[in-house]
Structure formats: C-alpha cells, structure tokens
Structure 1
C-alpha cells in the first residue's frame, strides 16, 4: 500500500487540540500532559495525515482496563509495539484509514521524549523541516512498506534529535526504539 504524504493542512493543529481535549475530558485526572507531536504538528510540513498525540501518566499501570474501555469508546484501539515503556493506540476514520496515534508514556520521561524534541527542532529550524519534508516525499514515492519508510528517515531524525538533546544537556540516545 502506498504511503500517503499530504501537503500541510491548516486544520491539523485544531484537530490535535480537539483530540487532546477529548482525551482529557473523557479521562479526568489520568493525563498529566497531552501534546500534538509528529509531522502534523509542524506548521507548513507535508505529512502523513495522521494526528499523533503523546500523553503522560504517572504510571503506565494507571491505564486500567476501565480506562482502556473509555479509550476504546473514543475509537482508540491498543496495538502492541516493541517500544519500551509506552502504550500505543490508534484510531481509524469511518472508512478504515488511520487518523490518530496515541502514545502514552510516563511523566518521568516526558522531558526527554525524542518525538517532542524532534517536533520542537523542526518548529525552530524551518530549513530542517523543509529538508525533512523533501525526504518524506522522496521516500514515500520509493517505499510501500511503512517500516522501511520510517527507517529511511532515521538518519535525519537522529541528527535533529541529537542537536536538541545536546542543546538541553541530555545524553544522546538512539531514536529508533527496538
């Protein structure tokens, strides 16, 4: 299946804010932070039209079966990933296309999450965002496999995240979680 890269949609920030507010309202007291991350959170950046959200909780165990049932009523389905210390959910449109990703992480890792650091770097460095947009378009045209698409972007993402981590005095770590 082809990888869909859409031109920037000015409604993406509002979609991210609406989805964040919906989660906070549906599960009061669970989420300490909810932010829009990923390509759709960077103004002007072409991206897969999927709203990526990252939320923090005190402990992952706080996402109990009852709370997961609320997420499911909102359309979020759990997906097992190899990413450590993270719960991952996805939501599809009525037509079955992926529309949202929800990454739930612990609050003690919030300030060092690479997704947030990468988003911040792209927002502060429009030349890197432009380079990333061009890379995404090129790789999407050449790859049909989502994993291969993601891995081919790793070098640029690693460079940007390393810059942000160094600037903040954080240790350098691989961006690819396996």
Structure 2
C-alpha cells in the first residue's frame, strides 16, 4: 500500500477530540492522559490522514487484560515489537498506549510540540513528507528517520533530556 500525504485538514483536531472522548469513556480509570499526537496534531502540517492518539496508563498489562471496550470501538491490537507500548489501529486512527512513567519524555509528544513551536522545522518536515508520498509504508517511515531524529534531538536538548534513538526496536 502506498502512502498518501494530504494538506492539513482543520477537521483533524475535532476528529481526534471525539476519538479521545470515546477511548476515555471506554476505559474509565485505566487511562491517565490521552493526547492527539503525530502530524495531524500540527496545524498547517501535511500528513497521512491518520489520527494518532497517545494514552498513558499506570499498568500496560492491566490495560491489555481489559481492552475489550477499546476493541468494541473498532480498534485492533497489533504487535509492533516496540517495548512498553500497546498499539491499536482502526480505519483512520492509531492508538498508542504507553506507561505513565514515560509520558513526559515520549518522543512523539516532544516532536509534536517542537513542530508546533518551530515553523521552519514544520516546513522542512512537510516538504520531506510530500517528497516521499507514493512510497510503501515501511520505506516512507524509514526515509523520515534522519530528519525525525534531528528534530527530536533538538527538542530533547532544549528540555535538557538525554538523546535517545527514535526507533524503539
């Protein structure tokens, strides 16, 4: 399947808000914080038309053991090989569930905030994404790694955080 990159759609935040409310209602007491992350969370940024949500939970095992309400919303859990993360997908949405202890330093959140604050970085990233449109998903993702790593490193440095590899293999 080839990747499509769309111009920013101002409907994305509202779609994310509804999905956040749905997940929160489905998992009362099992989610601390849930946010819209990824390119669709950055006004003006070209993106794949997929809403990425990230939720923090105190216990990933407990969340997984009680995931039936999330599955009832149409999400499917997929094994990604990423440690300390549950990943769910439904048409047009990704839900990343991570441990609450890692929440403040999650690269996805740091990258989003960096792109919101830095128009030049946002434009550079948008240009790269547009140039990679039409590639298969794995090639598209891997081809963005160098720039994402540089942007995440800048965000982590600005916050006094240690640098980490953006790949969670």
The TM-score bracket by the shorter chain reads over 0.9
- Stretches (4+) displaced over 2 A: none
> Over aligned residues, Cα RMSD in angstroms?
0.9
Corresponding residue for 1:55?
Answer: 55
Pairs within 5 Å for 1:4-153: 4-65=4-65, 67-92=66-91, 99-141=92-134, 143=135, 145-153=136-144
SS across alignment from 2:88: strand
Q: How far did 1:72 drift?
A: 0.9
Distance in structure 1 (CA, Å) of the matches to 2:58 and 2:158: 27
* Closer, same or farther: CA 138–64 of 1 in aligned 2, 3 Å: closer
Distance in structure 2 (CA, Å) of the matches to 1:111 and 1:153: 23
Distance in structure 1 (CA, Å) of the matches to 2:160 and 2:15: 33
SS across alignment from 1:48: coil
| Cα-to-partner distance string for 1:114-173 (whole Å, 9 max, x where unaligned) | 0000000000001111110110010124x2x21111011011111111011111111100
Contiguous gaps of at least 5 residues in structure 1:
93-98
SS across alignment from 1:105: strand
SS across alignment from 2:67: helix
SS across alignment from 1:54: strand
Contiguous gaps of at least 5 residues in structure 2:
none
Under a length normalisation based on structure 2, what TM-score does the superposition of the two structures give?
0.97
Corresponding residue for 2:147?
Answer: 156
SS across alignment from 1:119: helix
Number of positions where the alignment pairs a residue of Structure 1 with one of Structure 2: 169
